[in-house]
A and B are shown apart, each in its own frame.
Chain A
């Protein structure tokens, strides 16, 4: 049982800073991604779901609301970016649920005791929920081309980055929620579900909010998701204007707020 020590890397004290956060984020993200890589089936399922949704809901939408509500575009062109935002919403708001398992064992504690920076724990995990979206977004976009969807690759890619920034914020909030509700897992689900649906409906993802009553339209203005959906619609249609700008602003604000809350919650009990 001969055991030689490897490099004494542990003694190298690394300085905090942005480069450090990025590097740590990479590690956290990579650890999370190992779950997907070692079990690629989960990814395949995640691709089928939005396609089914798109195929079943899309045609109904066009028939029910009437083409004029979509500003003359094909209903698919209008609906598809919404589906992308929705996948991002569901995915990243689940960040905390995967954490719950690790909270129950000593796994989270073990990782907290490593030198990883706190914000990288949040960002890395949120990005893992976002990463499949890149693939999902591209696949549903490509699959929709035969049905009249016009594909602007660069715009779509940029749109996915913007939604990724938003997802970091939402993921961090979900992470914080999991920590706060530790030991009462059902509270996590209660809060997550209760918030998710109003946010979604009030953003015009499923149905155009312009068709709704005035109070809903006003409420939707205070919903960051509204700006995300509008930005994605503009980008997916090949545009690049004020909607996109507002979307970027909303995404950055969500990310900053989410990370601030997340780091605070982590540091509330630990150092």
Chain B
């Protein structure tokens, strides 16, 4: 459905070159659900804009829905749907009018467009707002309207740039229900970007991690986590026994990295333990045998943030350490 090679975008602002996207290779098959994950300014929107013909690539090539974006941009546009990062509704327009016009833009007749608009308004819980002007909607309501606009023509390939940003948990769940249903019923191919780690983790099959305009990882969330991060194990022993297990834990830890903090005569070790759930019982037994029984133990499965931290040394979370 999507194939890019060395896709690159360089912006020039006041003679300064900004390399927003640095030669990315992406392949997406029909029916896949792919999430781009990355911090602010990583190049997610820029990549999506190139794939949706809204930006001309500086170099490289991209085929979307079987069509080359540079050779036949109009062909690409008629085969895809796009929900951008900004609000798509015109400020002074009524919600229902914008939806119907959007359908008309894609060649639907007025009756079909109206029926479809009513369906979407209903399922996105915007029914009561259909005669409001866009400027009088709340942020989350506007975002839901954006989603409705993007779904009007039931595209077979849909791009969504941070679709759930600004929505409350209930509406976010509702949005995902929509997306999942579209996949299930119509085999829609979906490419989206998100900041929500849990969202990328639980909803998408495949996560493409992007940072500084480069793809730094591309796999299922499960594989990324098990390959790159491993479970986080925290184990406490008495200060007197610490020396007996330091070597043992160091050998078990990923890359031999062992973190150690002391308080109230207790030493707390923290380490990454790939496949930790399976290995932890054995490790506990070894500690017992060495004469240093664990006083406390915590085992946390890895998150995508751990993956990102592992890859870049930075956290994706708000105010993450650099």
List A residues at the B interface (Cβ < 8 Å). 1-14, 16, 24, 27, 30-31, 34-35, 38-39, 101-102, 105-107, 109-117, 269-271
Point out the residue from A102, A107, A115 that lies within 8 Å of B77, measured CB to CB.
A115
Q: Is B103 an interface residue (CB 8 A)?
A: yes
Count of residues in B whose CB is under 8 Å from the partner chain = 57
* Chain B, 58-97, CB within 8 A of any chain A CB: 69-70, 73-75, 77-94, 97
User: In the complex the two chains form, what is the Cα distance from A111 to B92 in whole Å?
Assistant: 15
Contacts of B307 in A (CB 8 A): none
Point out the residue from A5, A14, A16, A271 that lies within 8 Å of B186, measured CB to CB.
A5
Q: Is B315 an interface residue (CB 8 A)?
A: no
* Chain B, 253-303, CB within 8 A of any chain A CB: none
B171: min CB distance to chain A, Å: 12
Contacts of A269 in B (CB 8 A): 55-56
Task: List 23 A-B residue pairs with CB atoms under 8 Å apart, sorted by A's residue number.
Answer: A9-B107, A10-B153, A11-B79, A12-B107, A13-B75, A13-B78, A27-B101, A30-B104, A31-B93, A31-B97, A31-B101, A34-B93, A34-B94, A34-B101, A35-B93, A106-B87, A107-B89, A113-B77, A114-B102, A114-B105, A270-B53, A270-B54, A271-B56
Q: Is B123 an interface residue (CB 8 A)?
A: yes
A3 near B178 with CB under 8 A, answer yes
Known interface pairs A10-B78, A115-B106, A270-B55; A1-B177 also in contact (CB < 8 Å): yes
A83: min CB distance to chain B, Å: 28
Binds A, one of B36-44, B108-116, B193-201, B240-248: B108-116
A68: min CB distance to chain B, Å: 49
Known interface pairs A6-B115, A115-B107, A116-B105; A109-B75 also in contact (CB < 8 Å): no
Point out the residue from A6, A109, A115 that lies within 8 Å of B84, measured CB to CB.
A109
B108 near A9 with CB under 8 A, answer yes
B53 near A113 with CB under 8 A, answer yes
B50: min CB distance to chain A, Å: 9
Main secondary structure of the interface of B (DSSP, over half): mixed
User: In the complex the two chains form, what is the Cα distance from A106 to B91 in whole Å?
Assistant: 10
B69 near A271 with CB under 8 A, answer yes
User: In the complex the two chains form, what is the Cα distance from A136 to B33 in whole Å?
Assistant: 54
B90 near A102 with CB under 8 A, answer yes
B101 near A30 with CB under 8 A, answer yes
B107 near A106 with CB under 8 A, answer no
A10 near B86 with CB under 8 A, answer no
A117 near B90 with CB under 8 A, answer no
User: In the complex the two chains form, what is the Cα distance from A166 to B92 in whole Å?
Assistant: 27
A13 near B79 with CB under 8 A, answer yes
Known interface pairs A4-B119, A35-B93, A101-B91; A10-B52 also in contact (CB < 8 Å): no
